[in-house]
């Protein structure tokens, strides 16, 4: 029996109720409006399963709709048209000859139903390296085999009988290995992240001003939903053919960055051609993660051991942590101490409050991803930080009260926030006492300064990860060479 993460479901952003012409107009104008949905019924089943089609990494497999079904039918049905139960699939295709990446988002429909418009199989380059990532608006999504499809796709739903929860992937490590090789060989050019309106580097999915208790989860995929509950891929042709169809999206960190925060801060997400929608480009999880891996400055946010999605029965699990990390292009670690949640919390409090306060002038004027949770992007991000601080037990770990206080109205909607920036702001580390007070601790490796003693560096030709273990007053260094962990 699989057991997923035990956490409150984030309620954003599910974009429904906007006509297609209006949506396209808003996007063209650089405005993202994500109206609030009617809250889901209390008895909605939020544990659903997704039947993976045979040969999911092939052109035909990509174009074969996934089927959504209740994991336990006794808890009620699951419907893709229900925003609280919707599952999403994001695919990426790398051409090994050119190194270029394209995106193809497979469709999800209810089991036993047909899509509003049948997907068109993509044309894949010879030797294409294909990977898939999954997102879910409920609590726990379980991948279900179909004639060997999980093995064929090299799909990972979790480890040790414990699923991640809302997230899963197929063949992601091989895709990232091929993409990183293409980057090193100069065939794949990753655009720089640029500078935001606040004068700081644009945020990435590994920026402590953006991350939450379970970073790098879910996807940027969109689907069309007709009035009678049928589903279609989000393409210009489908939108024109399905007048009045609504757009449904996956509440994700990846989408918050690419659609919400980038727009507010004047940043441009990396986008790639959509194989289902000729002439159009889309944002995607693998693009965000590759860009973050290349350009995020120290301190770099990497999935910590206390992330609810990598816990097993509420306890840290090294295998599950590493299985998640490699699915989003992050280096595995040799011990749980090297993914310290205490260090994560310290970097979070050192970076996020100052950046959120700095950006308030921009985010306060931007629409909230979920109007039922917050009245602006600013209050949404503030509430998200408060929830993260609680979920990761940061106050106890670093002995520092939450620096952000959120004010809510009678309906529980965040309408204001007060931010007290610890020590006037900073970007990582403390003086070793674990309480966030004092000066920042940095490390110097071969003349290169590693802020907060947390990040990656090359030592004797081997890629190494540094992690500041404040509880034990030491820096843990983990190096890899030819896939073998080299403890230091």
Count Cβ atoms below 10 Å from residue 343 Cβ, excluding itself: 28
Cis? peptide before 299, omega within 30° of 0: yes
The Cα–Cα gap between 351 and 295 comes to 17
Q: Is 396 exposed, middle or buried (0-12, 13-18, 19+ CB in 10 A)?
A: exposed
Residues 54, 151 contacting (CB under 8 angstroms):
no
Give the span between the Cα atoms of 255 and 132, in whole angstroms: 16
Q: Residue 83 corresponds to which tokens in the numbers above?
A: 């925003």
Q: What span, in angstroms and rounded, lies between the C-alpha atoms of 418 and 403?
A: 8
Q: What angle do CA 158, 162, 168 make, to 5 degrees?
A: 25
- List beta partners, residue 282: 272
Which of 347, 401, 408 has the alpha carbon at shortest distance from 379?
408
Three-state DSSP at 148 gives: coil
Question: What's this model's pTM, rounded to 2 decimal places?
Answer: 0.81
Sign of the Cα torsion 352, 358, 359, 361 reads: positive
The residues with which 449 forms a beta bridge, in sequence order, are 444
pLDDT tens digits along 69-110: 999 999 999 999 999 999 999 999 999 999 999 999 999 999
Q: What are phi and psi of 320, to 5 degrees?
A: -70, -40
CB–CB of 135/217 below 8 Å? yes
Interval 459-480: pLDDT, tens = 776 777 777 655 455 677 877 6
Residue 21 DSSP SS3: helix
CB neighbourhood size of 189 (10 A): 10
| Neighbouring C-beta atoms of residue 338, cutoff 10 Å | 23
Q: What pLDDT does 485 receive?
A: 41
pLDDT of residue 104: 98
Listed as ranges, residues in the chain with pLDDT below 70 are 1-42, 424-442, 444-455, 461, 468-474, 480-488
Predicted local distance difference test score (pLDDT) of residue 26: 31
Calculated CA dihedral for residues 456, 433, 339, 207, nearest 10 degrees: -60
């Amino acid at each position: 029996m699989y057991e997923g993460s035990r956490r409150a479901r984030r309620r954003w952003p599910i974009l429904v109720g906007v006509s297609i012409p209006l949506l396209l107009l808003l996007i063209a104008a650089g405005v993202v409006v994500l109206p609030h949905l009617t809250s889901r019924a209390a008895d909605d089943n939020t544990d659903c399963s997704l039947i993976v089609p045979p040969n999911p990494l092939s052109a035909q497999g990509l174009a074969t709709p996934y089927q959504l079904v209740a994991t336990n039918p006794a808890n009620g049905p699951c419907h893709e048209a229900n925003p609280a139960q919707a599952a999403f699939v994001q695919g990426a295709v790398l051409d090994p000859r050119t190194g270029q990446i394209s995106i193809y988002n497979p469709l999800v429909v209810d089991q036993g139903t047909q899509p509003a418009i049948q997907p068109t199989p993509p044309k894949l380059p010879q030797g294409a390296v294909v990977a898939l990532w999954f997102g879910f608006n409920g609590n726990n999504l379980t991948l279900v085999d179909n004639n060997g499809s999980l093995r064929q796709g090299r799909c990972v739903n979790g480890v040790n009988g414990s699923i991640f929860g809302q997230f899963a992937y197929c063949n992601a490590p091989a895709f990232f290995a091929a993409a990183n090789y293409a980057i090193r060989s100069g065939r794949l050019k990753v655009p720089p992240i640029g500078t935001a309106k606040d004068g700081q580097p644009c945020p990435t999915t590994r920026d402590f001003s953006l991350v939450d208790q379970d970073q790098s989860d879910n996807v940027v995929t969109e689907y069309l939903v007709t009035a009678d509950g049928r589903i279609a891929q989000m393409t210009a042709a489908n939108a024109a053919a399905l007048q009045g169809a609504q757009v449904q999206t996956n509440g994700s960190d990846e989408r918050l960055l690419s659609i919400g925060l980038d727009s507010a801060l004047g940043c441009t997400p990396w986008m790639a051609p959509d194989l289902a929608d000729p002439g159009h480009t889309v944002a995607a999880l693998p693009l965000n993660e590759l860009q973050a891996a290349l350009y995020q400055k120290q301190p770099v946010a990497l999935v910590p051991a206390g992330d609810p999605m990598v816990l097993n029965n509420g306890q840290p699990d090294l295998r599950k942590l590493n299985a998640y990390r490699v699915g989003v292009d992050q280096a595995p670690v040799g011990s749980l101490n090297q993914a310290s949640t205490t260090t994560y919390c310290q970097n979070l409090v050192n970076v996020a409050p100052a950046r959120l306060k700095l950006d308030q002038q921009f985010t306060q004027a931007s629409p909230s991803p979920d109007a039922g949770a917050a009245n602006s992007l600013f209050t949404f991000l503030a509430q998200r930080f408060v929830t993260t601080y609680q979920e990761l037990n940061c106050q106890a770990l670093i002995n520092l009260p939450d620096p952000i206080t959120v004010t809510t109205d009678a309906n529980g909607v965040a309408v204001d926030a007060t931010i007290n920036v610890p020590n006037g702001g900073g970007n990582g580390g403390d003086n070793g006492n674990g309480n966030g007070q004092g000066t920042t601790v940095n490390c110097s490796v071969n003349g290169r300064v590693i802020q907060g003693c947390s990040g990656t560096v090359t030592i004797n030709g081997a890629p190494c990860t540094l992690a500041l273990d404040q509880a034990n007053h030491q820096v843990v260094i983990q190096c890899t060479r030819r896939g073998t962990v080299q403890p230091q």
